[in-house]
Amino acid sequence: MSKLFPYIFFCLFILIVGCVDEKPSHLGMWQGEQNGDIGFIKLDESGGAYILVKGDTLGGDGFEMEGNPVNLTYVIDDTNEKSHIDFILKLADGDIELLRIPGIYKFNSTGDMVLCLNYNDSRRPTTFEKVDTVVLKKVAR
């Protein structure tokens, strides 16, 4: 029995480690398609965001609106049944918020992020309406 112990221990270790369900992370570069347009969203650890759609960028280094440096950030609240995400545009030199886009997100069974945003007003979506929802695949960490 003592000769079998290391093998049994090793098998149990592999079984336990292999069954750990790692929660998908929102961090990284994501790619999605909506209405035939391919876009990218980058979410970093510091809360910075960058969006690129049809050659137009929102956020990132040197981003300006009407000649003013602007930062695009995001905040996440995943304590709800549907995880909340808000994209926030602020003037770079202060706390003046120019725009907030509320949304919800979830991860599907393949680890893709399903994202629904409300561009029309400040109400957070409550369902993943097809017209406002995009499925994003992680392309980089």
What does the domain layout of the chain look like in residue ranges? 26-140
Compute φ and ψ for 5, nearest 5 degrees. -55, -50
More confident residue, 72 or 131: 72
Higher pLDDT, 88 or 95: 88
- The confidence band for 4, taking pLDDT boundaries of 50, 70 and 90, is very low
Taking each continuous run of H as one helix and of E as one strand, the counts in the chain are: 1, 10
pLDDT at residue 13, as a whole number: 42
* DSSP one-letter string for 60-104: STT-EETTEEEEEEEEEE-SSSSEEEEEEEEETTS--EEEEEEEE
> 60-90, pLDDT tens digit by residue?
888 998 899 999 999 999 888 889 999 999 9
Mean pLDDT computed over 1-26: 51
Q: What is the pTM of this model?
A: 0.79
Give the burial string for 3-38 (b: 16+ CB within 10 Å, else e). eeeeeeeeeeeeeeeeeeeeeeebebbbbbeeeeee
**8 Å CB contact between 125 and 116:** yes
pLDDT at 100 over 90: yes
Segment 8-29 shows an average pLDDT of: 58
CA-to-CA separations, 68 to 53, 63, 93, 98, 107, in angstroms, rounded: 21, 8, 9, 11, 35
Contact assessment for residue 95 and residue 78, using Cβ atoms and an 8 Å cutoff: no
Q: Is 57 left (phi over 0), alpha (psi -120 to 50) or beta?
A: beta
CATH code, 26-140: 2.40.128
Coil, helix or strand at residue 138: strand
pLDDT(17) > 80: no
Over residues 36-44, mean pLDDT: 93
